[in-house]
Amino acid sequence: MPPLGSTKKSNRDCLVCGSPTSTAHMGIDVCRACTVFYRRSCGKKPFVCRSSTNRCTVGKGLNCKRCRLHHLELILKKSGSDEVKAAVSPTEKTVESVTEALLNHMQPSTSSSSPCSIVSTVPDDARPRPLLTRVRIAYEKMCFARLMGELFSRKDPPSPVLINSRNHPVFPATFASMNHANRLLMSCIMEFATCSFPEFDKLSDEIKWSLAVKFFYTFRMFDNSYRASKTFEDAPNRSFGSYTLWLSDDIVEHFFDDYNGANGDIEEARKIMAHNCREKPAIGRRILERTKPDEDEFLAVLTLMFWATNGLGSSDDLMRISEKYRHQIFSELHLYYRDVLHLDDYAARLGELYMFLPLFERHEEVKQTFEVFRLLDIYNDNSFTYMLNKT
């Protein structure tokens, strides 16, 4: 068996599906398709054998997902003890170089810049990833707080029997419910940061607020798109506006039904809302559907987004903490790809995750919309959502 990460120029047959492959994946002779299939299938709902025998033959023509995954697991189990513990391969060195390049590229700039419960299946021998563990726990707490806060603020809240973190009702968004949800989210972000990053509490109130507000905009688009792609898989025009509130162009007519302002230009605001609901949700969902991050990758991106400090000044403490967490999250991603997914070539994947930052960092566009709403007298200077806009 070839050493971890090594390749041969001549084609070999994949040990699982029989397809020709010129490159070893996961340290064994399996093709890229089987490698991707294995990554996507780990920890998911078990497949059912197509032949009902659980003994489909390996090789060309194998199209049973259950048996394909079973054969992959057997091969990895037999080869893993020697291969995974091998010395760092040239491929791994390449990955580390890519990571270093990403970290260098992510150095903070001082210039101004224009589902609730997560389940992770981790092998017993996987090395600990304490940062991802903390972020996972904090994210789950945040989701549950948002769920309870939003549902029980409704005039007619659903029965507690119908509410749990895995299955709960969602409702069309309205102006008042979104304002409440935004205030709730900001409080939850502060608690999320305190639970995930011990140094956060030691920062000044001004820096903590600036970090939280910047993350508020990026997180909303990323998290809303991530959850919408799962919850509204058959409704591409829908997106979450908050944890339990959804938006689409066909509900805009009633979005301002609970608006109680006297001078707001509601008709013009509806036109802007309708345009945004047609265009904006598709952007985030299209990005995520192309890359399909799993739960651990999602949490890693949240960490990178929180500590993307461009535009927040050049505080030495802030830059030091930001750099520390970026290095740590990439280190834990290395462990995740090697120990859990058994991948030896993931440099491109790291690049894809990093690209989420500029793609979802669109807070200036959101702020522009809020500013227009202020000009239309939908918001006043004391509106909480508009106050975020001025930070």
Write out pLDDT tens, residues 310-333: 777 667 888 899 999 999 999 999
Number of domains comprising the chain: 2
How confident is the model over 326-376, as pLDDT tens digits? 999 999 999 999 888 888 888 889 999 988 988 888 777 888 888 898 899
How confident is the model over 137-187, as pLDDT tens digits? 999 999 999 999 999 999 988 888 878 777 889 999 999 999 999 999 999
Is there a single domain that holds both residue 117 and residue 78?
Answer: no
Query: Residue 158 belongs to a domain with what CATH number?
Result: 1.10.565.10
Asked whether the beta carbons of 132 and 296 are under 8 A apart, the reply is yes
Is there a single domain that holds both residue 47 and residue 123?
Answer: no
Mean pLDDT of the chain: 81
Is there a single domain that holds both residue 41 and residue 180?
Answer: no
Tell me which of 90 and 113 has the higher pLDDT: 90
Task: Tell whether 202 is covered by a domain.
Answer: yes
Is there a single domain that holds both residue 331 and residue 293?
Answer: yes
User: What is the SS3 assignment for the chain?
Assistant: CCCCCCEEEEEEECCCCCCEEEECECCECCCHHHHHHHHHHCCCCCCCCCCCCCCCCCCCCCCCHHHHHHHHHHHHHHHHHHHCCCCCCHHHHHHHHHHHHHHHHCCCCCCCCCCCCCCCCCCCCCCCCHHHHHHHHHHHHHHHHHHHHHHCCCCCCCCHHHCCCCCCCCEECCHHHHHHHHHHHHHHHHHHHHHHCHHHHHCCHHHHHHHHHHHHHHHHHHHHHHHHHHHCCCCCCCEECCCCEEECHHHHHHCCCCCCCCCCCHHHHHHHHHHHHHHHHHHHHHHHHHHCCCHHHHHHHHHHHHCCCCCCCCCHHHHHHHHHHHHHHHHHHHHHHHHHCCCCCCHHHHHHHHCHHHHHCCHHHHHHHHHHHHHCCCCCCCCHHHHHHCC
Is there a single domain that holds both residue 35 and residue 76?
Answer: yes
Structural domain boundaries, residue 274: 95-389
Domain boundary among 87, 104, 127: 87
Mean pLDDT over 77-93 rounds to 46
Tell me which of 276 and 89 has the higher pLDDT: 276
